[in-house]
Amino acid sequence: MPKQNKASKRTPAQPKKAQPKKALPKSQAQPKQAAKRAAQPKKAPKQRQALSAATCDRHDLYERSVQDPDAEIELIERWSKKLCGAPARSLREDFCGTALLSTRWVASHPSRTATGVDLDPKVLASGRRRHVAELGEAAARLTLLEDDVRTRRAERFDVVCAYNFSYWIFTDRRALLDYFRSVHGSLAQGGLFTLDAYGGTEAMSVQEEPRQVKGGFTYVWDQATFNPIDHRVVNHIHFRFKDGTALERAFTYAWRFWTLPELRELLEEAGFSHVEVYWDVASDEDDTSYRPRKVVDNQPAWVCYLVARR
């Protein structure tokens, strides 16, 4: 997959950004502090340990490669304002992994609560250690559940989200419909279910796409197998380091590659009253701008969001 064109930046190999706020350089934003810093004697620079397969934390590398929680919070704010008319407060993050989004959500406003759900105790422990520990009093507004996302519970949420295509773990119609129905039942009336999907003419090819990540490592999205008969795919994530070491198959996903018409139909069948596809319409290579669309040209590779209202 060509790396330099705009479309390929929308593959799962790329972090998703929703028009990140452009920060001023620190020296422009805070002239007084910058002048003060300049007047201070310079400390010896800290020795930064180069990343290596032996010393890295694969969950940290994953987050730095494919997650952008602040951009996703901006999108949730925009969608809830537009589609619900009121700001969302309670968020459930399904397949939460290290619960990066949930921790940022509760930290972003004192009225916000979050519940992260994941089956894997190890990934939850990594999130507790690296994110929840530094939340302070906001941690009281976060719940992490080691459970299956399909478990029915009484609590209702303003928003449920399932990101980075994790729900593709459900490889047949009945299983995915069951999950969508359980999400529908977990939402407050008018609440939103937001999820992402990928596709495009290159998305069904067996190929590897490497990308340099800030901090000195290479992230590789490896579309290892694609079966056109049942759309079963196996994808891997590898991390490679400058010292020649690598974490091959740091993560492996055996998924069904779902198409947008299938997903829309299943969401409607599960009871959602209104389903929209948000497509990236940014013309600038480095920006993204997700807008509701009904008709678009196909691209070599794209990532979009579906937003479904209860």
Ligand X SMILES: C[S@@+](CC[C@H](N)C(=O)[O-])C[C@H]1O[C@@H](n2cnc3c(N)ncnc32)[C@H](O)[C@@H]1O
Residues at the contact surface with ligand X, assessed by CB under 6 A: 66-67, 95-97, 117-120, 123, 148-149, 163-164, 166, 169
Residue nearest to ligand X (CB): 97
The nearer residue to ligand X, 34 or 236, going by C-beta atoms, is: 236
Nearest distance, CB of residue 275 and ligand X, angstroms: 20
Name the strand (E) or helix (H) holding 249.
Answer: strand 246-256
The nearer residue to ligand X, 113 or 166, going by C-beta atoms, is: 166
Count CB atoms within 10 A of the CB of residue 52: 16
> Which residues neighbour 67 within 8 Å (Cβ) at sequence distance 6 or greater?
15, 100, 101, 164
- The rounded distance, in Å, linking the Cα atoms of 257 and 168 is 7
Nearest distance, CB of residue 161 and ligand X, angstroms: 8
The nearer residue to ligand X, 164 or 288, going by C-beta atoms, is: 164
The nearer residue to ligand X, 90 or 182, going by C-beta atoms, is: 182
Nearest distance, CB of residue 56 and ligand X, angstroms: 17
One-letter amino acid identity for 31?
A: P
The nearer residue to ligand X, 176 or 308, going by C-beta atoms, is: 176
Q: Are 174 and 283 in contact (CB under 8 A)?
A: no
Helical segments of 187-289, H only: 260-269
- The rounded distance, in Å, linking the Cα atoms of 307 and 80 is 10
> Which residues neighbour 36 within 8 Å (Cβ) at sequence distance 6 or greater?
none
Nearest distance, CB of residue 190 and ligand X, angstroms: 24
The nearer residue to ligand X, 90 or 166, going by C-beta atoms, is: 166
- The rounded distance, in Å, linking the Cα atoms of 113 and 93 is 11
Nearest distance, CB of residue 68 and ligand X, angstroms: 10
- The rounded distance, in Å, linking the Cα atoms of 112 and 192 is 15
- The rounded distance, in Å, linking the Cα atoms of 30 and 24 is 9
Nearest distance, CB of residue 104 and ligand X, angstroms: 12
